[in-house]
Every structure is written in structure tokens, then in C-alpha cells.
Structure 1
Amino acid sequence: MSSGPARRSPRRPAPAPADRRARWAVSLIFFLNGCSFCALLPRYPDLVDSIGLSLGAFGLAVGLGPVGGLLAGLGAAALMRRFGSGPTAVAFQLVASTVHLLVYISGSWLWLATALLLAAASDAITDISMNAHGMRVERRYRRSILNSYHGWWSLGAVTGGLIGAACAGAQVPLWLQGTCGLVVFGMLALVASRFLLTGPDGTERVPAQAGPSAASAQDAPAEPVGAARVLGAWHMSLRSVTLLLALGMVLVFAGSTEDAGNTWGALFMRDTFAVGPFAAGMAFVALQGAQTIGRFTGDAVVDRLGDRTTARLGAVLSAAGMTLALTVPHPATAVIGFACAGWGIATLFPAAFRTADELPGVTPGVGITLVGWFARVGFFLAPPIVGALGDAFTLRYALWLMPLYALGILVFSGVLDTRRGDRDGAQPAPV
């Protein structure tokens, strides 16, 4: 067998111009997906005041959002089979931006709750389909680029938060911010649609399936046609179902870790250390900022170490950082701890989506759909659990769940991909 450099140079040619354009188009959709929703977050106090809601009523409205994602997410695979992952991602990003406008102009609790539920539903379909299309582009690159997509989402989230904060500070009317967001984000999504890949979503898998290797012959003995192909989308082996469940658990713990910083970080800082609003927000900034950096640098790390080793090292980092923050309570150690948590989980969503999308015997899009659905279970269950423990024991003790989340990641990370370097049809893992 030839050495690494000699082997990789002829097998990893420079990406074609169309593939480069597709990568930037998918990155733009990820950015818009993060920016559009997170621009809302700093305006929540204005929404509460404009509608006249109590905090309890507002919390209930926000809590209904993940239910929309859970219900709609399972339909993403069927939509992608019918329309393709690229058109589905663009269409539902446009729907999401439209629904976000409905959130901005909410006039009652029922209106707000319904708009947030629809926003989460459209986001779930956009999330799954843009990851599926990103996997198509990654297969053409034959190396890991999925982490950079999620880096663009994190950058979009930070950008959206800054836009919302600036609009709140300038007292921009809610309807005006929502309308401008719909126009700008919608136009950019339509621009991105022109440069996405064409053809069926299984196009990049054809060389791997057509090859004479024993692995491909064993994993794909026959290609179903007609109605059998549609029905076969959800007919998977017990092994595939078990692996998808384990991948889902990785994202349940990763999503719960991210939610701990997003939902409870500022309250933890304020209640534990009595700091001001700016310092309290540093927990969220630390987690999202470190996660952004970890995602933009994660592809090089994954290519060198593989998804499994990267995930395990990240879990150790997350557990160590939050253990330091909770055993040595201080604003500085808290910021360090949340940063370690963000960096530690940075590559987990791309890793789980990649592994799910390449499971033998699973129709394209179905693996990502199921694993993404599990991730939303974590976002749905974690906030009330942490909140109940915080009421009973204070948030400092409730957030000891974060090192336990890291332990869960460590346990289930064994199902992640171990490959390094080139990612093409000749590798043993793809379908």
C-alpha cells in the first residue's frame, strides 16, 4: 500500500468550480438559518411587553416550539425524495423567514405560540435538508467540510444576535425588523439556490454502489424500484436502527449541552455571581464563540483524527471545563467552562449527520432525518429538567448535568465514523 501523501494526491483533485460554488451556497443557507432566528432573541423582552405576557405564559409559548420541530422533522425525508435536498432547504428557509415575521408582529399569546411552533417546524426541515445537501458537496470534495457549514451557522447565530441587539437598542419597530429580515434573508436564499447541486440526492453515491468491492455488494444487494423503493425508505435492518438510535443519543447530549449555555448561561451568571447584564451574557458568548471556532477548525481535526476520536476528546474537554466552573465558582472560570463545553461539542452534529447519512442500507435523507429528530428531543426535554432542578437546588447544582452530558457523549461516541483523510466511494463505510 502506498504512503499517505502519494496515495492522496491523485485521489483528491482540486474541486470543480461548480462544487466550490455549491459549497458557498450551502454555507450561505446555514448562515441565513442561524441569523434569521437568532435576530429574534434580543427582541423577546419587547415582545413580552408589547403583548403583555407574564414570564410563565411567555415561557410556555417558547416551550411549544420544539414540538413543531419534532412533528415536522420526520417529514423531511419524504420532501427531499420528492423535491431534492437543495430546493427543500431553500423553500423552507423562505418559509422560516416568513414565519419569523409573524413572530415579530404577534398580537396575542396564541398568535405567538403558533408562530414559534411553525418557526421550529420549518427550521427542522431546513436543518435536515441543508445538512443532506452539504453531504452531497462533501462527497465531491472527498474530505470533511461539514464542520465548516455548522461554523457558518454559528457565525450566523452570533451575527443575528448582534443585529437584534442593535435594533433593540435603537428601538427599531418589531414589524420593521421582521420585514427587512424577510426581504434580505429571502433574497439571499434565492441567490444561493442558483448554485446548489442538481440531480438526484443519490448521485454522489453511485460510484460507491457500482464498484465491485465486496462491501458494496454485501451492503446493497439489489436496488428496489417503484413502490418498493418508496416503502424501503423506512425498512431498515435492526443493526441500522440501533446505530441511528445511538447517533441520536449523541445529539441528545450535545443539544442539551448547547441549550444549557443558551437558555441558562446568563441566569447562572446573574444568580450565582450577581454580575451585570453584559457579564451575564458572556456565558452564551463564550459557548457560541468557542463552538464557532471549533467548527471552522474542526474539518482539519476530523480529517486527521476521525469523528470518533475528535468527539471523545471534546467530551473530555467539556466535562473538565464545566467541572472546573462548578467546583471553583467564579465568573472567569464559568466563562472558561462554557467555552470548553462549546468547543467540546463543536463537531458532534456534523459527525452524527455524516455517519447517519452513510449507513449501509439506509435510503439517502432518512438517517439524517431520524438523527436530527432525536436532537430536537434533547432541546425539548433539557430546559424543563434543568429548570426544575434549578428551582429545587439552584442553577449551580442543576448544571452538574453538563458533565453528565459529556459522559453520555463519551459512551455513545463509539458509533461515530473513524475514517481519516479522503472520503470517497472506495472507503469501506459509505453505502
Structure 2
Amino acid sequence: MTEQSYVSRRRRPPSSRHYSATQLRDARLAVSALFFTNGAIFANIVPRFPELKRIHELDNAVYGLALAAFPAGGIIAGVFAAPLIRKFGSAPVAVAGTLFTALGLIVAGVGPTGIFFAAGMFLGGACDAATDVGQNAHGLRVQRHYGRSIINTFHATWSVGAMSGGLMSAAAIWIGLPVPAHLVLSGTLWAVVALVARRFCLPGNDAADPGPSGTTADHAGDGVGAPGDGSASSNLSEGTQEAAPSGAPVPAETSGPLTFRTVAMLGALVLIATMGGLIEDAGSSWATLYVGQLGAVGGLAAAGYVGLVGSQFVGRLLGDGLVDRFGRRTVAQGGAALITAGMGLALLFPSVPGTIAGFAVAGFGSATLVPAAIQQADELPGLKPGTGLTVISWLMRIGFLVSPPIVGMVADTFGLRTGLCVVPFAGITVLLLSWTLSQGERGAQSERDIPTSPRPSVREEDESQCS
């Protein structure tokens, strides 16, 4: 395939047109560092919660309210993420959010009373919401120039950061490091990492960044099209964006108005992302308890949660390759089927090994759901840059706030086994809503389809180093 025919079919030049391979490689590593620090900062305080509860002499009700301050802060402050990104850019917002998240959690750990604990959690949650939207927006900006899917590896890096932060906290507890010293040390460390990463992010404001097709980010992702169909009429009718060879978004040529269809699609994408988050929350909140009820003893009871997060990490490592090969929609549908079948069978035929396997299968199946939903939301027509990401992040936090009490009430009335039916229900919901995800062209990422260009493409220079 010649470069001319390739560009004609895709209506865009090679993805390395505006930034060199080195700039994009550095930016990708910088975004990975931001995702890593975001996971590590919060994971450092989680194992310290019981100690903080004891230090401040909090009863269960007050302790629960203090913990709820984190998602509450995200819900209240999350609506400001998109305007901040449009004004300052995604990278500065992500880094500033990281710094103040670290500060909030330091206050939560160092403060002399439970009020400081709750206030620090609130500040941390509010700033974490900005970081969440900012780092995803910048990751999608880098992905647009890569011309292939890389968003799932960013989320895999977040998982590594969370695991590393948890291990760091466990080590601090093991050596007897006081909570204030531990959280000041960890917060300072990850804040420095974020500041260093800022130097290597893509320069300039997102709205002024020309996409690979030469359009600005105000229009990037606003075009919509049926998978594998380059016609403009199909673009307007199908409501899904034409995919790049690897399923990465191709910025459109024009911006469409905000329509009821766009709002409906955004609502469906919010549900897909929320279902993915609900599966994670079910694992972290209830897996250990349920496996223990089935008769697991000691550390084996935690195997359900470990299996879920471990397999989810593997799924995210493999996710970009699967999306490149099969498309977002097919991968999400396959994952939803695994979630439904895996946990459905585990709940129908309860046993310790079967339930651990069921949580692991659900974790693998849910790996790409949140990244797919936020990427698709970032491409919807008629939305200002960052709006789709902000809406999804904001409403997901509401889901995180209300889902544990709902599962708990169902469990109190009918048993935890019934309460965990939310997991296969989430899989069924994703299957029903998967039409909102674009598909892309399968197998189009092969080396022979990559055009030659005056500059070396990122794929050619960086496949082995960045994957």
C-alpha cells in the first residue's frame, strides 16, 4: 500500500507529523509516571486507615464518614476539571492535582484530630478528580499522535503504582515508621516524580495542539463514523468515530453540534465505565469477606481480590494489542461475556476455588472497560475538550459512593451471595450498551500498512521500547 493511497483512505498523514518520535516517547513515559504516582499516593494511606482510626478514636460511623469524604471531594470538585483543562492544559492540571492530592493525604495522616483526617481526605479526593481527568486527557492526546491504542497500558501502570504503594506502606508498617513520617515521605516522593514528569509532557494547551490530521483539539475526536466506513454521511449517522489502523482515534475535520444522540451515548458510556468500576469495587469491598464466608481461612480469603486485580492488570497489559486487533467494541463485548459467565457460574455453584477463579475472570474481562469508555467519550461530537472525560469521572465517583451501601443492604436482606449478583449484572449491562463503542478495522495495524514518512514513525522506532 502506497503512502498516498493510505493517507487518502485514512484522511490523515502519519501520526508522527507534529512531534518527533523522541518527544512522543518521552510524553508517553511521562503520562505513565503520572498514572503510576496517582495509584501509589492513595495506596500508601490505605493500609494505615486502621491505625488512623485508632489514633483518632473514631467509631465505625464517623470513620465511614471520614472515608466517604474522599469520593465526596471528587464529586464536588470534579465538575471543574474540564474548564481547568481548557484554560491551563491537561498536563498542568494532572500534575497540580497530584501535588495537592499528596498534600491532602499528608494532612489526613499528620493532622491531630479526626476533623483533619476527614478534611485531608476531602482535599485529596477533590484534587484526585482533577488528576484523573487530566492524566487521561493527556494520555489520549499522546495516543492520537501515536496512531494506535496505548491507553490501556497507562491504566495498567496505575495498577502497578497501586501495588507498589501498598507494598511501600506495608514496608513502612513493618519497620515501625510512624504514620506522619511515612505519609510525608511518600507524598513528597511522588510529588517530585510528578514534577519531573511534567517536563516531558507534550507542550502547549490541548486546544491549540494540532491533531494528526492538522485539526486542533477543539475538533479532535468530534467526527463520528461507522467502523471501516470513510464516508461523511456514515460518519454523521453512526455516532462512532472512524478508527485509525490500530483503533486509536482519528481527529475529525469538523465539529458537530450537541445533539440528543450525543447525550444518550454519553449516558451509555458513563454506565459502561461505572459497571467497570463497580466490578473493581465489588472485589475490593466484598471479595475477601465472601470468600471467607465460603470457608477460606487466613490469607486465602484475600485471594479473590488478589485474583481480580492481578488478572485486571494482565488484561490491561494485553488490552492495547487486543483493541488494535479486534476493536474496542469486540473486546468490550468479549470482556462482558467473561464477566457474566465467570461470576455467574461462581455464584450459581459457590466454592472457594470457583469463586476465586470467578473474580479473576471478571477482573480480566473488565480490564478495558473504563479506558474504552473514557476514550469514546473524549471523541463524542459537540462536546468541548475534556467534557466527556469529566462527566464520566464525576458520575463514576457517585457510583463508587453509593454502590457499597447498596450491595451491603442487599447482603443484609438476602445474603452476600445475592448482593454480588451485581457483578454478572454489570457484564450484561455492558453487553447491552456496547453499541456505543467504535469498532475499528481488525488487523489493520500490521507493519505493511504503516506508511513511510520523512520522519521515522513512533511505531517503527518505539514498538519494543514503549510497549
TM-score, reference length from structure 2? 0.81
Structure 2 matches for 1:131-146, cutoff 5 A? 131-146=136-151
- Aligned to 1:364, the other structure's residue is in SS state coil
Identify if the C-alpha distance between structure 1 residues 236 and 21 changes in structure 2 by more than 3 Å, giving closer, same or farther.
same
The corresponding residue for 1:399 is 420
Specify the alignment match of 2:405 in structure 1. Answer: 384
What is aligned with 1:254?
276
Q: Secondary structure at the match of 1:292?
A: helix
2-structure distance, mates of 1:3, 1:304:
22
2:418 pairs with 1:374: no
Larger deviation: 34-43 or 201-210? 201-210
Match of 1:238 in 2: 260
Are residues 393 and 167 of structure 1, via their aligned partners in 2, closer, same or farther at CA, if it must alter by over 3 Å?
Answer: farther
- Report which stretch shifted further, 261-270 or 15-24: 261-270
Q: Which residue of 2 aligns with 1:78?
A: 83
Runs of 4+ in 1 over 3 A off after TM superposition: 6-15, 208-216
Aligned to 1:419, the other structure's residue is in SS state: coil
Return the letter of the residue paired with 1:312: Q
Alpha-carbon displacement from aligned partner over 1:367-403 (angstroms, at most 9, x marks no partner):
1111222221221121110111122222222111111
Asked if 2 retains the 8 angstrom alpha-carbon contact of 1:255 and 1:376, the reply is no
How big is the shift at 1:190? 0.7
Verify the 8 A CA contact 2:296 2:352 in the aligned structure 1: no
**Native 8 Å contact 2:312 2:367 kept in 1:** yes
Match of 1:294 among 298, 312, 315: 315
* CA distance in structure 2 between the partners assigned to 1:3 and 1:261 by the alignment: 49
Residue in 2 that maps onto 1:285: 306
Range with bigger deviation, 52-61 or 348-357: 52-61
Cα distance, 1:365 vs. partner? 0.8
CA shift for structure 1 position 362: 1.6
Q: Which runs of 5+ in 1 are unaligned?
A: 220-232, 423-431
* Corresponding residue to 1:147 among 129, 152, 157: 152
TM-score normalised over the length of structure 1 = 0.88
Q: Does 1:163 align with 2:168?
A: yes
Any idea what SS the aligned residue of 1:39 has?
helix
Aligned partners of 1:319 and 1:208: how far apart in 2?
42
Partner AA of 1:255 in structure 2: G
Q: Secondary structure of 2:346's partner?
A: helix
Conserved? CA contact 1:251–1:352, under 8 Å: yes
More off after superposition, 200-209 vs 24-33: 200-209
Matches of 1:82 and 1:11, distance apart in 2: 29
Q: Distance in 1 between the 2:213 and 2:2 partners?
A: 24
| Aligned: 1:55 with 2:60 | yes
Query: Which residue in 2 is equivalent to 1:90?
Result: 95
Q: How much does 1:356 deviate?
A: 0.9
Q: State the shift of 1:160 in Å.
A: 1.2
Which residue identity does 1:336 align to in structure 2? A
How many angstroms does 1:194 deviate by?
Answer: 0.4
> What is the match of residue 413 of structure 1?
434
Q: How far 1:173 sits from its partner (Å)?
A: 0.5
Q: Which residue of 1 aligns with 2:365?
A: 344
Who is 1:178 aligned against? Answer: 183
Q: CA-to-partner distance for each residue in 1:200-244, whole Å, 9 max, x for gaps?
A: 21314372648999749x97xxxxxxxxxxxxx9x8222211111
In 1: Cα distance, 2:362 partner to 2:231 partner: 41
Kept in 2: contact 1:252–1:377 (CA 8 A) = no
CA distance, structure 1, for counterparts of residue 413 and residue 275 of structure 2: 22
* Alpha carbons 1:251, 1:374 under 8 Å: kept: no
Match of 2:126 among 96, 121, 128: 121
Task: For residues 122-175 of structure 1, give each alpha carbon's deviation from its aligned partner in whole angstroms, at most 9, with x where no partner exists.
Answer: 111100010000011001100000000000001111111111222223322000
* Distance in 1, Cα, partners of 2:397 & 2:338: 24
Tell me, in whole angstroms, the C-alpha distance in 2 between the residues paired with 1:403 and 1:106: 41
Q: Is the 8 A contact 2:69 2:118 kept in 1?
A: yes
Give matches, 1:1-16, under 5 Å.
7=6, 11=14, 16=21
Match of 2:41 among 28, 36, 39: 36
Match of 2:294 among 257, 272, 287: 272
Moved more, 74-83 or 324-333: 324-333
Between the aligned partners of 2:265 and 2:2, the Cα distance in structure 1 is: 32
Q: CA deviation at 1:274?
A: 4.7
Structure 1 stretch displaced more, 201-210 or 15-24: 201-210
* Separation in structure 2 between the aligned mates of residue 145 and residue 354 of structure 1, nearest angstrom: 11
Please identify, of 79-88 and 331-340, the stretch whose mean Cα deviation from structure 2 is larger: 331-340
Which has more helix, going by share of residues?
1
Assess if the C-alpha contact under 8 Å between 2:407 and 2:420 holds in 1: yes
Question: Would the aligned equivalents of 1:89 and 1:127 in 2 still touch at CA under 8 Å?
Answer: yes
Q: Which amino acid aligns with 1:365?
A: G
Amino acid at match of 2:276: A
Contact 2:56 2:113 in 1 (8 A): yes
Which residue pairs with 1:21 in the alignment? 26
Residue in structure 1 matched with residue 242 of structure 2 by the alignment: none
RMSD: 2.7
